[in-house]
Amino acid sequence: MSEVCRFAPSTTGPAHLGTLAAALLCWLDARSRGARLVLRLEDLDPDRCRPEFARAIEEDLAWLGLDFDERVEQHARRAHHEAAMDRLEALGALYPCSATREEVRAIGRRAPDGGFAYDNRARGRALPPGGWRASVEPIRARLPDGVFRPLDEGGLDLSQEPALAMGDPVVRRRDGAFSYQLAVVVDDGAAGVTRVVRGRDIAPSTATQAALQALLGLPAPVYRHHLLLLEERGGKLAKTHGAARGAALARSAPALTGALACCVGLRERPDPCTPAELLREFDWSRVATADRVVSLRDGSLTLTASGP
Ligand code: GLU
């Protein structure tokens, strides 16, 4: 069976250096294995996603020389997300719960992703007579009990009891949008994704996704969660760094590719290079495992330290 990989940026802002480093690693992984590579623009959040951000991200990826075999806009897959909701409803796994983010925070139980765990308090509630479509409340999916152990090729321990550690996830929000957790599982399944390469910040969600895959009868991909590029203050590189291409450093795509390769540990020096050149020497054993702190100074991307 041939392998299928995907890169799935959220279209909540222009690409930043972390986005492009993640895209480069995903592309190198897929191309080095002869896998099919899907670009999925995750644009379901009506408050934060903008078509112009999607366009800007795609332009940056193309400018960098990263190509894809298929392009998916997640909002266009609504019928599939609805079908998954119908399936979950038929399994009796859906229930409404109007608990707000603040109320979940007030429960006071920390979750492995740094947020707060939901305590499944509304599990006993039924959907209204018209089913999930008739509910004006957020809807959660009751996860199966027990520990899930998704496989991380890089050796990260992803085992977790998601129903307890994170709590049942929201699958449809109050505003009617389907959640990331539902859509990622449905869309990875539909595209036949066999390998998920993504940043380590999402690792704590993997067991929840494995539990939803089990409910929906979808196969589990193999995962590889890679290092993150951090800001000097220690946080994940964020949109505050602005569009990477707009940075003074990005005078040429090879200059930025070389700097990114150095940031993730593929090259010792940030000499200009192309993704195709990196592909010839690519191996995950050459990629740094610890997160890297980077800073933009005087128009050049400086790796200030290894590790946060
Ligand atoms: N859309 C998510 C992000 O940009 C990534 C989702 C995934 O790779 O599963 O952080």
pLDDT confidence of 251, banded at 50, 70, 90? confident
Give the atom of ligand 1 at the shortest distance from the alpha carbon of 188: 9
Q: Looking at ligand 1, which residue's alpha carbon is closest to its atom 6?
A: 8
CA–centroid distance, 306 to ligand 1, in Å, is: 24
Mean pLDDT along residues 91-107: 97
Give the residue whose CA is nearest to atom 7 of ligand 1. 8
pLDDT at 231: 79
Which pLDDT tens digit goes with each residue over 215-245?
Answer: 999 999 999 999 999 877 666 665 545 555 5
Write out pLDDT tens, residues 142-199.
Answer: 999 999 999 999 999 999 999 999 999 999 999 999 999 999 999 999 999 999 999 9
Q: Which helix (H) or strand (E) holds 38?
A: strand 36-41
Per-residue pLDDT at 308: 44
Average pLDDT in the chain: 92
Helix count and strand count (H, E) for the chain: 9, 11
**19 Cβ inside 6 Å of ligand 1:** no
pLDDT over threshold 50, residue 11 = yes
Sheet of 300-306: strands edge to edge?
229-230, 292-297, 300-306
Residue whose structure tokens are 């990196």 = 278
User: Taking residues 15-41, what's their average pLDDT?
Assistant: 96
Question: Minimal CA–CA distance to 262: which of 230, 231, 302, 291?
Answer: 302
Q: Which of 12, 180, 181, 182 to mutate to test the pocket of ligand 1 (most atoms within 8 A of CB)?
A: 180
Instruction: List, in sequence order, the alpha helices (H) in 112-205.
Output: 162-165, 180-190
| pTM of this structure | 0.94
